Amino acid sequence: MASPFTRRRSARPSKRQGCTSNLRDVGGIHGICTHLPNGDVVYSVVVVLLARVNGGRLALSEETEDLRWYALDALPQLLFEPHLAMLADLATGRRATWV
């Protein structure tokens, strides 16, 4: 089985929400277990994709109120705690696969 971190060049750019981009790599696969105040437990898997925007612009959808680009060292404070580890891995170039 091929590694999820094998770099593949796509011949076709992808298009989503008004931007066109080329997938460059997989930055990590993260498993997150969150315990909610009501006692529920939520499990999620986050796949971090690294892409380079090569055209278009950000566009809102029916599911978004606001959409902006941020530098890694200038992110807003409204982040979920599990995302902090993902961002630290991304900033240091670490390939993360954890549960």
Residue 4 or 40, more confident: 40
> Considering the entire predicted model, what is its pTM?
0.57
pLDDT digits (tens, 9 = 90+) for 44-60: 888 888 888 888 888 88
Whether pLDDT at 94 is above 50: yes
Q: Does residue 5 sit within a domain?
A: no
Domain membership flag for residue 90: yes
Closest Cα to residue 27, out of 80, 74, 86?
Answer: 86
Q: Are the CB atoms for 18 and 57 separated by under 8 Å? A: yes
- The residues that bridge with 85 in the sheet, in sequence order, are none
Strand 19-35 with 96-98, pairing: parallel
Judged by DSSP in three states, 91 sits in helix
Instruction: For residue 20, tell me if it sits in a domain.
Output: yes
Contact by Cβ (8 Å): 56, 20:
yes
Name the pLDDT band for 17 (thresholds 50, 70, 90): low
pLDDT in tens, 58-69: 888 888 888 888
* 62 alpha-carbon distance from chain centroid: 20
For the chain, percent of residues with pLDDT exceeding 70: 77
What is the reported pLDDT for 96? Answer: 65
What does the pLDDT average to over 6-18? 50
Domain that includes residue 20, residue range: 14-55+70-98
Number of domains composing the chain:
1
